[in-house]
């Protein structure tokens, strides 16, 4: 079995995997980071979105071996200790989650949106999140949460300057 080494949530990890092992499987089973969820088998649902080298990606679309040397962040690595990331905080404030299953992928995807577009319109948020399916919320409060997080993060960025 090939072995693979990468950085996950700031720590270097390695493991032996079958060639066919997906990054999502490696994260869940080898690393026991079960916040990354598997909701489908056709790369549609987006529950498994993580960040690879700073960009959001459905972790079921990569083989674990393809992530050799990559810098991976999962939902478990987003908060700063006990302090939630502004996106996590906004999802809670705006009731942007119900059953919580799509939530990790949704949050990771939304964080990347703000990385590339710090002030998205409702339309841009809805288009960006098209690859993340939520069955509970109807998306209304998710859109609200992303807007709130965007505002918070723009404020933080301005304060830092």
Partner 1 sequence: MSETGIGASVKRKEDKRFLTGQGNYLHDIERPNQSYAYILRSPMAHAKINGIDTAAAAAAPGVLAVFTGADTAELGGIPCGWGVNNKDGSPMAEPKHPMLAEGKVRHVGDQVAVVIAETYEQAKDAAELIDVDYEELPAVVDMVKAISGDGPLVHDEAADNLCYDWELGDEAEVNQAFDGAAHVVSIDVTNNRLVPNAMEPRAAIGEYDKATGEYTLYTTSQNPHVIRLLMGAFVLGLPEHKLRVVAPDVGGGFGSKIYHYAEEAIVTWAAPKVGRPIKWVAERTESFMSDAHGRDHITHADLALDAEGKFLGLKVYTKANMGAYLSTFSTCVPTYLHSTLLAGVYTTPKIYSEVKAIFTNTVPVDAYRGAGRPEATYLLERLVSKAAWELGIDQVEIRRKNFIPKDAFPYQTPVALQYDSGDYDATLDKALELADYAGFPARKAEAAQRGKLRGIGFSTYVEACGIAPSAVVGSLGARAGLFESANVRVHPTGSVSIFTGSHSHGQGHETTFAQLVSETLGIPLDNIDIVHGDTNKVAFGMGTYGSRSLAVGGEAIMKALGKVTDKAKKIAAHIMEASEADIEFKDGKFTVAGTDKEMAFGEIALAAYVPHNFPHDQLEPGLEEQAFYDPMNFTYPGGCHICEVEVDPDTGVVEVVGMTAVDDVGRVINPMIVEGQIHGGLAQGIGQALLEACVYDEDGQLVTGSYMDYCMPRADDLPDFKAATTETLCAHNSLGVKGCGEVGAIGSPPSVINAVLDALRDRGVSDIAMPATPQAVWKALKAAETPMAAE
The yes or no reply on residue 122 touching partner 1 (CB under 8 A) is yes
- Dihedral of alpha carbons 120, 126, 131, 135, sign: positive
Matching residue, tokens 């809805």 = 126
CA dist., res. 61 & res. 20, Å (int): 11
Which helix (DSSP H) or strand (DSSP E) does residue 71 occupy?
strand 71-73
The yes or no reply on residue 23 touching partner 1 (CB under 8 A) is no
CA dist., res. 57 & res. 39, Å (int): 15
The yes or no reply on residue 41 touching partner 1 (CB under 8 A) is yes
CA dist., res. 66 & res. 68, Å (int): 5
- Among residues 79 and 157, whose Cβ is nearest to partner 1? 79
Q: How many CB atoms lie within 10 A of CB 1?
A: 10
Give Cβ neighbours of residue 133 (< 8 Å, ≥ 6 apart): 39, 44, 45, 46, 47, 102
Out of 58, 88, 148, 150, the only residue in the binding site for partner 1 (CB under 8 A) is 88
Segment interacting with partner 1, rule: CB under 8 A, options 63-71, 113-121, 122-130, 153-161: 122-130
CA dist., res. 75 & res. 3, Å (int): 24
Out of 6, 73, 97, 113, the only residue in the binding site for partner 1 (CB under 8 A) is 97
CB of 58 to partner 1, least distance (A): 12
The yes or no reply on residue 84 touching partner 1 (CB under 8 A) is yes
The yes or no reply on residue 143 touching partner 1 (CB under 8 A) is yes
The yes or no reply on residue 17 touching partner 1 (CB under 8 A) is no
CB of 31 to partner 1, least distance (A): 12
- In the complex, the residues that contact partner 1 under the rule CB under 8 A are 18, 20, 28, 33-42, 44-45, 47, 74-76, 78-79, 84, 88, 91-93, 95, 97-104, 107, 122-123, 125-127, 129-130, 132-143
């Amino acid at each position: 079995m090939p072995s693979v080494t990468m950085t996950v949530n700031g720590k270097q990890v390695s493991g032996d995997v079958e060639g066919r092992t997906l990054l999502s499987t490696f994260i869940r089973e080898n690393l026991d980071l079960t916040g990354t969820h598997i909701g489908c088998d056709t790369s549609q649902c987006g529950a498994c979105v993580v960040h690879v080298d700073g960009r959001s990606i459905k972790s079921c679309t990569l083989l674990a071996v393809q992530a050799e040397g990559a810098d991976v962040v999962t939902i478990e690595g987003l908060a700063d200790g006990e302090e939630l990331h502004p996106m996590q905080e906004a999802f809670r404030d705006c009731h942007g989650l119900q059953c919580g299953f799509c939530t990790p992928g949704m949050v990771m995807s939304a964080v990347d949106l703000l990385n590339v577009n710090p002030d998205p319109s409702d339309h841009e948020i809805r288009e960006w999140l098209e690859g993340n399916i939520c069955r509970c919320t109807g998306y209304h409060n998710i859109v609200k949460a992303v807007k709130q997080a965007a505002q918070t993060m723009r404020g933080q960025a301005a304060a830092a300057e």
